[in-house]
Amino acid sequence: MSQKVSLIRGDGIGPEIVEATVRVLDGLDAGLEWEEVRAGSGAFNDLGTPLPEETLLSIGRNKVALKGPLETPIGTGFRSINVAIRKHFDMYANVRPAKIMPGVNTRYSDTGVDLVTVRENTEGAYSGIEHTIPPNRAAAETIILCTRWACERIVRYAFDYARRAGREKVTLVHKANILKETNGLFLEVGQSIAREYDDIKFEDVIVDNMCMQMVMRPEQFDVLVTMNLFGDILSDLAAGLIGGLGLTPGANIGKDASMFEAVHGTAPDIAGQGVANPTALLRAASMMLEHLDMVEKARRLDQAIEAVLGRGEVVTGDLGGSATTEEYTDALLAEIESQ
Ligand code: NAI
């Protein structure tokens, strides 16, 4: 029986990298059936809403979605649709692996980087509880929401993930020295749950020090667990360590539905030129295959990406090459064919 997946092509480079990913997954014979739905600025322009009801119904039915990036207007306009979908389905764990890929030259290629950010995805500074104070927006307030329940859930997820993935250490990142209540609660819960997992090492690091440590010695980190805002920022920092946003995937995991996407945005500067790197979304697709228990297909996809990048002959502009999205996709399909 085929597995239905809700497919959102998205905005900017979204349709280009989604097309590449669908071609590769079809080439893998993963037995996926695509249910196409809309979201983002394109949907807003065509349908008058950035998040049609049918999209939510589709994700609810299929429980799995693959999504291209969506444009969010800055400062004004509709709220982030990414955040809205994550919230609607309570996709509480945002998992973002950052690993140096073969053939990709980075400042850290000698020591290596292989870390996974596990970010709390529903609360914190992204609780959406914010307002302005009149007159004339004289002030604005955003509530950092932090429930014990959500802290426990994300820290436990990080430890279970570490165990499943054969990883050795969880680093909890916080700012409890200043944000004593919210971040203090997160840290207290983390320290308490860590005692249940004596096979996994545990440490906590203050976020400002963490930024420096990640730049100076990223190889010391394994699994990071942190709240929403810091997770958002640190996972982009991690993407920079491994060669850029074009390579970093993300999974939004919930009990009732999960959504897989690239960490990067719509890249308006290169949209429509056919030169975007689809690797981040392809690696997100690999996480999706694993989530669907298609572990062998996921490994084949990973191997194909590593082989093509490793040879360095057909790579996109962001990695210093000159291949188009289509040429890179063709190279991946040829690699899969030869496996
Ligand atoms: P961005 O990630 O779109 O672009 C940053 C830089 O990275 C640009 O120079 C871009 O060309 C490059 N880049 C990104 N992905 C690439 C790829 N696959 N291949 C080659 N180069 C790539 O970030 P920006 O410009 O801050 O955001 C643009 C829009 O994307 C905004 O509307 C933002 O809200 C949205 N966005 C959406 C996300 C999502 O849907 N998950 C995540 C982040 C931003």
210 with 111, same domain: the answer is yes
Dist. CA 96–CA 73, nearest whole Å:
24
The minimum-distance atom of ligand 1 relative to the CA of 73 is 32
Choosing from 63, 67, 87, 175, which is the catalytic residue?
A: 175
Dist. CA 125–CA 103, nearest whole Å:
37
254 with 326, same domain: the answer is yes
323 lines ligand 1 (CB under 6 A): no
Dist. CA 14–CA 277, nearest whole Å:
11
CB contact set of 35 (below 8 Å; sequence gap of 6+): 4, 5, 6, 7, 58, 62
Choosing from 126, 161, 328, 330, which is the catalytic residue?
A: 126
* 311 C-alpha to ligand 1 centroid (Å): 26
Among residues 193, 218, 242, the one where a domain terminates is: 242
The pLDDT tens digits of the residues spanning 230-251 come to 999 999 999 999 988 889 999 9
Q: Is 129 within the bounds of a domain? A: yes
CB contact set of 322 (below 8 Å; sequence gap of 6+): none
User: H or E stretch including 307?
Assistant: helix 295-311
pLDDT of residue 170: 98
Residue closest by Cα to atom 11 of ligand 1: 267
109 with 236, same domain: the answer is yes
Dist. CA 158–CA 169, nearest whole Å:
10
pLDDT of residue 80: 83
Among residues 242, 271, 301, the one where a domain terminates is: 242
Dist. CA 231–CA 155, nearest whole Å:
13
Is the distance from CB of 271 to CB of 320 less than 8 angstroms?
Answer: no
The stretch 124-149 carries a mean pLDDT of 95
32 lines ligand 1 (CB under 6 A): no
205 with 329, same domain: the answer is no
- 256 flagged as catalytic: no
The stretch 174-194 carries a mean pLDDT of 98
* 264 C-alpha to ligand 1 centroid (Å): 4
pLDDT band at residue 318 under the 50/70/90 scheme: very high
* 148 C-alpha to ligand 1 centroid (Å): 33
Choosing from 232, 318, 328, 330, which is the catalytic residue?
A: 232
pLDDT band at residue 94 under the 50/70/90 scheme: very high
pLDDT of residue 41: 93
11 with 82, same domain: the answer is yes
pLDDT of residue 283: 98
- 175 flagged as catalytic: yes
Residue 163: give the domain boundaries: 105-242
173 with 286, same domain: the answer is no
- Per DSSP, the residues of 208-258 read HHHHHHHHH-GGG--EEEE-HHHHHHHHHHHHHHTT-GGG-EEEEE-SS-E
The stretch 156-172 carries a mean pLDDT of 97
250 lines ligand 1 (CB under 6 A): no
Domain count within the chain: 2
- 126 flagged as catalytic: yes
pLDDT of residue 74: 67
277 lines ligand 1 (CB under 6 A): yes
Q: Is residue 78's pLDDT more than 80?
A: no
* 56 C-alpha to ligand 1 centroid (Å): 24
161 with 59, same domain: the answer is no
Dist. CA 262–CA 241, nearest whole Å:
16
pTM above 0.85, yes or no: yes
Among residues 188, 216, 242, the one where a domain terminates is: 242
The stretch 116-127 carries a mean pLDDT of 94
CATH of the domain at 44: 3.40.718.10
